[in-house]
Amino acid sequence: MSEISFDDFLKVDVRVGVVLRAEPFPQARKAAIKLWIDFGDEIGEKKTSAQITAHYRPETLVGKQVMAVVNFPPRQIGKFMSEVLVLGLPDENGEIVLVGPDQTVPVGGRLH
């Protein structure tokens, strides 16, 4: 893997948000959940689609704090426009586990 500069790292805007709403996304090619996430006053509410159905159900996600890249361009996923990329790590089976703070932090905080 090639090295990047600290300035390159700073270009990626990773923020914490809280899931306001979550719905199944049966039209996605792979099982997914639609998320509406509040990133605070500066960024506002953004939506995304995430392939996280192995570990999460929509009703368990509301109120959860998650980390997301908020400065990628929007991406069309079927008839749904994804505006941010939620972050996660693969478990031993390759299924995604969401990344978030281990304590409640102010919404909109930027990753350092």
The predicted-structure confidence for 47-74, as pLDDT tens digits, reads as follows 999 999 999 999 999 999 999 999 999 9
pTM here is 0.94
Confidence at residue 98, expressed as pLDDT on a 0 to 100 scale: 98
Confidence at residue 1, expressed as pLDDT on a 0 to 100 scale: 87
Which residues contact residue 44 at a Cβ distance below 8 angstroms, ignoring those fewer than 6 apart? 38
> What's the mean pLDDT in 27-35?
92
Q: What is the fold, at CATH topology level, of the domain defined by 14-98? A: OB fold (Dihydrolipoamide Acetyltransferase, E2P) (2.40.50)
The conformation of residue 110, written as its DSSP 8-state character, comes to B
Residue 27 has pLDDT above 90, yes or no: no
d(CA 109, CA 32) in angstroms, rounded, equals 26
